[in-house]
Amino acid sequence: MSEATNSTAQGSTVVASERTPAGALGGRGLIVRDLRVAVEGNEILKGIDLTVEPGRVHALMGPNGSGKSTLAFAMAGHPGYTILGGSVTLDGTELLDQAPDKRAKAGLFLSFQYPAAIPGVSVANFLRSARQAVRPDDLNPAKFRKLIFEKLDALDMDPAFLGRYVNDGFSGGEKKRLEMLQMAIIGPKYAVLDETDSGLDVDALQSVGNAAKSLRESEDGRNMGFLVITHYPRILQHIPADVVHIMIDGRIVKSGGPELAQEIERDGYDGVRDEVAAARA
C-alpha cells in the first residue's frame, strides 16, 4: 500500500497510512499495522494503520458502514471477522493469534454499541466475575467491595445499581455507565469504545464523559489509551481527543487534531470524501 501523503488546501493532511516510527514508543501502545479484515467474504478493512499511545485519546470517526465496528470486533477476536493480514499489538504482544479472553487479560477492553442483557445475574456478581476473569489476583471480597464502592463514588453512581440484573431494563445511559464501571473495575491498559454515544441524551453523554474523565484522572487510569469510535463529534466534547482519524470505505483517509472533528461537525463527511477523491485523481 502506498505511503502517499497529500497536503490539502487547508494545510491538514490526507494520509494513506499513519505510522509512528518503529521504536519511538519501544513497542508500547495499541498498534494496528496494515490490518485487513473480511466479513462474509468481503474485504471491509483494507489496510488500517493506527497507534494509540499510553495516556492518549484517539478518536475514530466515519460515516455508517465505513468499517469502524469491524475494527473493534476484529480487535476483540470476534469469530465472524476474518483477518486477511496485518497485526495488532498491545505493548508489544501480538493479539490477533490469541483468544478473546487472552486479549482482555493482555489489557484490552472493548465497549460495544449494543451491550447484552443478562437477566438473573446481578451487576455486583457480573463485575466480580469480569474482574476475576481478566485479573485473577487475590482481591478478597472485602477488598473487592472497597474497590467497587470507590469506583461507584468516582463515577457518581447509585450503589442500588449493584443489585440490578445486568442491562435488564436499563436505559441507554445506564448501559453505558455500566460499561464505564466495568472498565474502571477491570482497569485495562487500552479501551476501545464503539459508539458509546449512540442513543444517549445530553445528560447521559455528560455522565459517560465524566466517568471517562474520572477514570483518566485516577491512579491506574492515567496511562490508559483510548480509541473512541464515533459517528458524531459530540462525544468528543466530553472525552476530548488528542488525535482524530477519519475512516471511509475501510481506510483511514485523514488524521489530524481535534479541529478535524469540528470540521466534520460543520461540513459532514462529504468534504473529506471529495478531498480524498481529488487527492487520488
Task: Give the residue ranges of DSSP H helices in the chain.
Answer: 68-76, 100-106, 123-134, 141-154, 172-186, 202-217, 259-267, 270-280
Contact region with ligand ADP (CB under 6 A), list: 46-54, 65-73, 171-179, 268-276: 65-73
* Angle (nearest 5°) at CA 100 between 131 and 144: 0
Question: Which residue in the set 16, 29, 52, 68 belongs to the binding site for ligand ADP (CB under 6 A)?
Answer: 68
In sequence order, the 6+-apart residues with CB closer than 8 A to the CB of 26 are none
Question: Which residue in the set 17, 51, 69, 182 belongs to the binding site for ligand ADP (CB under 6 A)?
Answer: 69
35 binds ligand ADP (CB under 6 A): no
> In the range 53-72, which residues lie near Mg ion by CB under 5 A?
68-69
Nearer to Mg ion, 69 or 167 (CB): 69
Nearer to Mg ion, 66 or 255 (CB): 66
70 binds ligand ADP (CB under 6 A): yes
- The DSSP-derived string for 173-221 is HHHHHHHHHHHHHH--SEEEEESTTTT--HHHHHHHHHHHHHHHHSTTT
Per-residue cell: 205 = 453523554
Nearer to Mg ion, 68 or 151 (CB): 68
Compute the distance between CA of residue 138 and CA of residue 136 in angstroms, rounded to an integer. 7
3-state secondary structure of 14: strand
Question: Which residue in the set 38, 39, 147, 186 belongs to the binding site for ligand ADP (CB under 6 A)?
Answer: 39
Question: Which residue in the set 31, 32, 35, 44 belongs to the binding site for ligand ADP (CB under 6 A)?
Answer: 44
Which residues bind to ligand ADP, rule: CB under 6 A? 39-40, 44, 62, 64-70, 80
Which residues bind to Mg ion, rule: CB under 5 A? 68-69
